[in-house]
């Protein structure tokens, strides 16, 4: 399976990092080795002193497809989840300044937290989902998918022009504002429409 991530998909987060709004969706990949297995802690990697949390709504692909038309995108997923795109912000800043790829800052072991899944039919419309993440009990990120610059069905159509989507692939749909550093012993919990989908300890 592969993990396809979308960057800069909420304007408030683009502003907090002083980035430019992308003309086309910004896309990067994470390998399967970046997955944090269920109930495992996240270990801060030795090469970063500034790992940030980015809570994101996740889409799980349930059939093979390429060149998917947007009007058919909804047929390619039936589960929605929540996860964290962990980012070594210090390393990413160095790579960005040199115009280099981000993988070392985004795709390292443990950089992808995937929480529990909920069937799409049990949730409101995918473009109207409320989600939030708490750090040690305090809300640090809270948003709605209604604020996405590019909505889920458009993203699926877009990425399928480049990558064949396969069963089990996961799309990270971008983070809203409120990203910030994590420290040893922090506990991050993610909620989608009130369902707690992950709880992860930082080590
Ligand atoms: Zn992200």
pLDDT digits (tens, 9 = 90+) for 34-52: 999 777 999 999 999 999 9
The runs of H, that is alpha helices, within 72-150 are 89-97, 103-106
Ligand 1 centroid distance, CA of 54 (Å): 5
pLDDT surpasses 90 at 94 = yes
pLDDT of residue 20: 84
Ligand 1 centroid distance, CA of 52 (Å): 10
Ligand 1 centroid distance, CA of 56 (Å): 7
Ligand 1 centroid distance, CA of 74 (Å): 22
For the chain, percent helix, then strand, then coil, each to nearest 5?
A: 25, 40, 40
pLDDT of residue 153: 98
Query: DSSP 3-state assignment of 41?
Result: coil
Written as six digits, the tokens of 92 are: 């990413």
Q: What percent of the chain has pLDDT over 70?
A: 100
pLDDT of residue 39: 78
Ligand 1 centroid distance, CA of 88 (Å): 11
Q: Which of 106, 89, 83 is nearest to 192 (CA)?
A: 83
pLDDT of residue 13: 86
Please tell me the CATH superfamily of domain 3-201, with its number.
Fumarylacetoacetase-like, C-terminal domain (3.90.850.10)
Q: Which of 64, 5, 10, 1 is nearest to 177 (CA)?
A: 10
Ligand 1 centroid distance, CA of 30 (Å): 11
pLDDT of residue 17: 84
pLDDT of residue 12: 87
Distance in angstroms (rounded) separating the CA atoms of residues 193 and 129 = 6
Ligand 1 centroid distance, CA of 20 (Å): 15
Distance in angstroms (rounded) separating the CA atoms of residues 172 and 120 = 16
pLDDT of residue 21: 81
Nearest 10 degrees: Cα torsion 98, 102, 105, 111 = 170
User: In which order are the strands placed within the sheet that holds 87-88?
Assistant: 87-88, 51-53, 180-181
Q: Which residues contact 155 (CB under 8 A, 6 or more apart)?
A: 6, 9, 25, 59, 171, 173
End-to-end CA distance of the chain: 27
pTM higher than 0.85? yes
Ligand 1 centroid distance, CA of 185 (Å): 22
What does the pLDDT look like over 67-78, one tens digit per residue? 999 999 999 999
């Amino acid at each position: 399976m592969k993990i396809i991530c979308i960057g800069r998909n909420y304007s408030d987060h683009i502003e907090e990092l002083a980035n430019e709004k992308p003309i086309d969706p910004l896309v990067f990949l994470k390998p399967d080795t970046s997955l944090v297995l269920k109930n495992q802690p996240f270990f801060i990697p030795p090469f970063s002193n500034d790992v940030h949390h980015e809570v994101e709504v996740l889409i799980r692909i349930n059939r093979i497809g390429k060149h998917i038309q947007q009007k058919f995108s909804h047929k390619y997923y039936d589960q929605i989840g929540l996860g964290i795109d962990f980012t070594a912000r210090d390393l990413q800043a160095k790579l960005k300044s040199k115009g280099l790829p981000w993988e070392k800052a985004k795709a390292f072991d443990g950089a992808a937290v995937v929480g529990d899944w909920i069937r799409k039919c049990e949730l409101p419309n995918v473009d109207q989902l409320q989600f939030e993440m708490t750090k040690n009990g305090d809300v640090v990120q809270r948003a709605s998918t209604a604020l996405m610059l590019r909505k889920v069905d458009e993203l699926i159509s877009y990425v399928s022009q480049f990558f064949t989507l396969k069963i089990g692939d996961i799309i990270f749909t971008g983070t809203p504002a409120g990203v910030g550093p994590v420290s040893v012993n922090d506990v991050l919990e993610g909620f989608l429409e009130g369902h707690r989908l992950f709880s992860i300890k930082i080590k």
